[in-house]
Amino acid sequence: MTSHLETAHDSATPESGETPEVPRTPWSRFRRRFRTQRVGLISLGYLIFVVGIAVLAPLLATDSPNAQDLRAVLASPSGEHWLGTDDVGRDVFSRLLYASRTSLLAALLAVAVALGLGLVPGLVAGYARGRIDGIVMRIADALMAFPPLILAVALVGVLGPGLTNAMIAVGIVFSPRFLRILRGAAMSIREETYIEAARGLGCSSVSIIGRHVLPNVLSPLIVQISFAAGTAMLAEASLSFLGLGVQPPDASWGAMLGRSYRFYDRAPWVVLFPGIAIALTVLAFNLLGDALRDSLGREER
């Protein structure tokens, strides 16, 4: 409404029957805008590719991920071992493929936990304000006051090591971020007139949150999920690097990195390839998040 460039486009004849050229649903509007985001499309393509690899790992792998070939320890990339072998002679290429499953699932789990913990309190705090908001936010602030990694390590210490526990810990650490974003979005939506109109119609608070607030926070939420997935993958790598995440012989990219960094001067490939995989995937999640942010949201006039 602050637009000084409002054009007559805005005012089709009240009774005009013709369908406008613009796409009809928010989804088609999103598609139209997202199509123009080249970096976002490439990132999405890459992530689909990674998911494809994870699903098809057994078919694509040239070797069993845990099979040790002690004759070829820290072997350099060759026709037999495309990306070389690690310190116990396991095929890096095959391990990398299988590890993508762990890494992706870990990210998914952490995001799901964070979302599960942050969604409802965030929406309720933002919509209800007042005392509920105060209590919820103090808890969130307390969680955010800890350095994230240390908190995650402490939580794993309580829950016990293991991938699932590690990712639950990461999810708990992340939940205040979701909570804050959702609260902020809910707070601004709460001021919209359609919320007041719904109250005036006699809608209950629960139905207003479900029907009006949630659908309108989806855009920032989706963007945040994308960023968080990248960060969760990094956190998983960190925890696995410290030996608190996935337990041997299973591998995630972070665990591969953690196990082999000692050999990076003798056999750089054992570090390089998992490192590249992590970096690219995290980057792709972040770039996708940026592209989503630019494509979601309301049409500007």
Partner 1 sequence: MTASEPTLAGADRRSPVLSIENLTVELAGEHGHVRVLDDVNFEIGARETLGLVGESGSGKTITALSVMGLLPKSARIPSGSIEMEGEQIVGCPLSDLQRLRGSRMAMVFQEPMTSLNPAFTVGDQIGETVRRHRGASRRAARARAVEMLDLVGIPNAARRVRSYPHEFSGGMRQRVMMAIALACEPALLIADEPTTALDVTIQAQLLDLLRDLQDQLDLALLFITHDLGVVADICDRVMVMYAGQVIEGADAETLFEHPEHPYTEGLLRAMPHIETRSGELFSIPGSPPAPLDRPPGCAFNPRCGYAEPTCTADAPPLRSIEPNHTTRCLLAEKLRLQGVQE
Partner 2 sequence: MTNPRESEPFLQVSDLSVTFRVTGSGFRRVPLHAVSDVSFTLQPGETLGLVGESGSGKSTTGRAVLRLIEPTHGSVRLRGEELTEMSRKELRRKRQAMQMVFQDPYSSLDPSMTIADSLAEAIKQHEDLGRTDVRERASELLDEVGLGRHHLDRYPYEFSGGQRQRIAIARALAVRPELIVCDEAVSALDVSTQNQIIKLLERLQDQEGVGYLFIAHDLAVVRHISDRVAVMYLGRVVEQGPVEQIFERPMHPYTNVLLSAHPIANPARQRGRERTVLRGELPDPTAPPSGCAFRTRCPHEFEPCATELPDLVEMPNGSFVRCHLHDQGPVLGGSTVRVLPPESRGDRRAATSDETVSTDAE
Question: Of 26 and 89, which has the nearer Cβ to partner 1?
Answer: 26
Question: Of 158 and 201, which has the nearer Cβ to partner 2?
Answer: 201
Interacting residues with partner 1 (CB under 8 A): 2, 4-15, 21
Residue count of the chain: 301
Shortest distance, CB of residue 35 to partner 1, whole angstroms?
A: 12
Query: Is the bond preceding residue 249 a cis peptide, omega within 30 degrees?
Result: yes
Q: Which does 2 bind (CB under 5 to 8 A by kind): partner 2, partner 1, none?
A: partner 1
In terms of Cβ atoms closer than 10 Å to its own Cβ (0-12, 13-18, 19+), residue 10 is exposed
Shortest distance, CB of residue 188 to partner 1, whole angstroms?
A: 16
Question: Of 8 and 201, which has the nearer Cβ to partner 1?
Answer: 8
Question: Which residues are registered as beta bridge partners of 91?
Answer: 85
| Cβ neighbours of 272 (radius 10 Å) | 17
Shortest distance, CB of residue 299 to partner 1, whole angstroms?
A: 12
Contacts of 231 (CB under 8 A, 6+ apart): 174, 282
Q: Which does 21 bind (CB under 5 to 8 A by kind): partner 2, partner 1, none?
A: partner 1
Q: Which does 38 bind (CB under 5 to 8 A by kind): partner 1, partner 2, none?
A: none
Which segments of the chain does DSSP mark as H helices, in order?
26-34, 38-60, 92-128, 130-145, 148-159, 163-190, 193-201, 205-208, 214-241, 253-260, 269-295
Shortest distance, CB of residue 40 to partner 2, whole angstroms?
A: 22
Shortest distance, CB of residue 36 to partner 1, whole angstroms?
A: 11
Q: Which does 216 bind (CB under 5 to 8 A by kind): partner 1, partner 2, none?
A: partner 2
Question: Of 25 and 145, which has the nearer Cβ to partner 1?
Answer: 25
Interacting residues with partner 2 (CB under 8 A): 1, 10-12, 14-15, 17, 20, 22, 24-26, 192-194, 196-204, 211-212, 215-216, 218, 298-299
CA gap 130, 99 in Å, rounded: 46
CA gap 96, 159 in Å, rounded: 27
CA gap 101, 94 in Å, rounded: 12
Question: Of 21 and 265, which has the nearer Cβ to partner 1?
Answer: 21
Shortest distance, CB of residue 56 to partner 1, whole angstroms?
A: 40
Q: Are 36 and 28 in contact (CB under 8 A)?
A: no
Q: Which does 145 bind (CB under 5 to 8 A by kind): partner 1, partner 2, none?
A: none
CA gap 148, 235 in Å, rounded: 9
Question: Of 6 and 80, which has the nearer Cβ to partner 1?
Answer: 6
Question: Of 18 and 265, which has the nearer Cβ to partner 1?
Answer: 18
**Plot region of 177 (φ>0 → left; ψ -120 to 50 → alpha; else → beta):** alpha
Q: Are 100 and 53 in contact (CB under 8 A)?
A: yes
